[in-house]
């Protein structure tokens, strides 16, 4: 995936890119977690990659939200470790499936602070399409 992203960015040296990482989950007998990596070529579309995993651990909503954020941060760390020398100016955003409306609103400050302190930009609903649209599509 990282090699493919590097190749994609190098083919378009004059364009601006953002790397977006978002994780969403769906509870059930097992919790399905999907992490998506999106390389957004600003004004010209995007490519995305995703990975689906399952966890038998019973999660509360709060625990699940923090697990989503943690999985995104871990993935961002691995990606940046691979690409930091090749693309040092690449902006990385972590998209989380939380927002001002709904049951997750009291978690916004804590989750955003956790992501920002890790050195990444955090996006929440309605701007967190990496988690709420891309990753969410593959949790069902």
Model pLDDT for residues 11-47, shown as the tens digit of each residue: 998 999 999 999 999 999 999 999 999 999 999 999 9
Domains in the chain, number: 1
Q: Which of helix, strand or coil describes residue 93?
A: strand
**Which structural domain, as residue segments, surrounds residue 28?**
2-137
First-last CA distance in the chain: 23
pTM over 0.85: yes
The angle formed by the CA atoms of residues 37, 72 and 21, to the nearest 5 degrees, is: 25
CATH number, position 106: 3.30.420
């Amino acid at each position: 995936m990282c090699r493919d992203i590097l190749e994609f960015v190098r083919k378009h040296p004059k364009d601006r890119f953002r790397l977006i990482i978002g994780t969403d989950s769906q509870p059930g007998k097992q919790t399905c977690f999907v992490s998506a990596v999106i390389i957004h070529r600003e004004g010209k579309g995007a490519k995305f990659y995703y990975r689906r995993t399952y966890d038998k651990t019973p999660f509360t909503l709060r625990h699940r939200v923090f697990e989503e954020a943690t999985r995104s941060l871990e993935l961002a760390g691995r990606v940046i470790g691979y690409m930091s020398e090749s693309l040092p100016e690449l902006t990385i955003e972590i998209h989380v499936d939380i927002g001002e409306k709904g049951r997750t609103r009291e978690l916004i400050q804590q989750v955003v602070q956790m992501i920002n302190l890790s050195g990444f930009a955090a996006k929440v609903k309605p701007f967190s399409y990496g988690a709420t649209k891309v990753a969410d599509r593959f949790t069902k």
